[in-house]
Structure 1
Amino acid sequence: MLTESMEDYLEMIYRLTQEKGYVRAVDLAGALNVQPSSVTRMIQKLHEEGFIQYEKYRHIALTDKGKRLGYFLVWRDAMLKEFLTLLNARVGVEEQVEGIEHYITPPTMCLFRNLVQYFRTHPECLEELQAMNRLNKYPEGEKLEDLRAWLFRHSSD
């Protein structure tokens, strides 16, 4: 089973492969803002799990298994961002997606996809939902700013 960190690495390997056609450990370290030694340990783990092919001082290549999972990870990230943006999430979309993405199941992601597709084809329903959101009331009228989710580095506008 992949850890959150392994997912992040695999997602970035997929992204870099799509962008540049190849991935080197130094590229991965720069993209993830981590030390090269951390990259070396992680690519060894991903290689052992069968997600990548790697030889020391060579490019990192995704296996078929790695490509399929990498594609899903990139799709999941984009779909969650689209969902939150569609619903006019005003603050911290990137941070919220990072917090959500590792804990959501593929079947639940399909539900998000279906909602996005539904709202795209039924904009009147999206407008109705946005009108409800403008009321901006918390459940039961409670003040919830003390929750951990409010610890983002931004205001709650």
Structure 2
Amino acid sequence: MLTPSMEDYLEKIYELMHDKGYARVSDIAASLEVQPSSVTKMLQKLDENHYVTYEKYRGILLTSRGQRLGKLMKERHHMLEEFLRVLGVPEETIHKDVEGIEHHVSPNTLQSLQALVLYFDDHPESLKGLQSYTAQLDVESSDQTDGRAT
């Protein structure tokens, strides 16, 4: 069973390998803002669970299982970002919110969110309707906050 921390590491390793062709302990540590010793401990756990092949001073390789899960974690992360963008969440909030949400969403909920994102991609008029509705709710909410009746 993957822990949220293991998922973050697999996602980061997958991302680094995809972008740079390799992942080093120092790259992972810098990206996740953790100490290299923490990365080494996690790599040992991931190796024990057959998600990576790790040999000190030799490098890190994702196993086929680790590759598959790393890709899934990256896709999940991207989809949640897109979902929050569709909802109009400010960019500066998206990253923080995705980090809080991504490890706690069931596969069924994730699939439903993905369907909604794809629906809005295929039906931009519906997205505009949602945006108008949301803007109207924001106006009503600010009117009530200002003490004005709506």
TM score, norm. by length of structure 1: 0.84
Q: Which residue of 2 aligns with 1:81?
A: 81
Aligned-residue offset at 1:68: 0.5
Cα distance, 1:96 vs structure 2: 0.6
Say which structure is richer in helix.
2
Distance (whole Å) between structure 2 residues aligned to residue 12 and residue 114 of structure 1: 25
- Mapped partners of 1:60, 1:107: distance in 2: 32
Partner of 1:95: 96
- Residue by residue over 1:103-129, the C-alpha shift from the partner in whole angstroms, topping out at 9 and shown as x without a partner, is 012222111111111011111111111
- What is the Cα deviation at residue 22 of structure 1? 1.1
Distance 1:129 1:24 in 2: 44
Deviating beyond 2 angstroms after TM superposition, the runs of 4 or more aligned structure 1 residues are none
List alignment gaps of at least 5 residues for structure 2: 146-150
Contact persistence 1:24–1:58 (CA under 8 A) = no
Aligned to 1:9: 9
- 1:14-25 to 2 correspondence within 5 Å? 14-25=14-25
Cα drift, residue 10 of structure 1: 0.7
Equivalent position of 1:67 in the other structure: 67
Structure 1 residue 13: deviation in Å?
0.3
Report how far residue 133 of structure 1 moved: 0.9
SS of the residue corresponding to residue 22 of structure 1 reads coil
Q: Which has the larger radius of gyration?
A: 2
CA deviations on 1:82-111 (whole Å, 9 max, x unpaired) are 111122112511111111000012222111
Q: Output one character per residue of 1:38-67: Cα deviation in whole Å (capped at 9) or x when no partner.
A: 011100000011100011111110000001
Moved more, 10-19 or 109-118: 109-118
For the residue of structure 2 that corresponds to 1:57, the secondary structure is: coil
Aligned pair count reads: 140
Instruction: Map 1:1-157; keep pairs closer than 5 Å.
Output: 1-90=1-90, 92-134=93-135, 135-136=137-138
Q: Which runs of 5+ in 1 are unaligned?
A: 143-157
* AA matched with 1:67: Q
- Distance in 2 between the 1:106 and 1:62 partners? 23
Aligned partner of residue 23 in structure 2, secondary structure: coil
Distance in 2 between the 1:75 and 1:101 partners?
Answer: 11
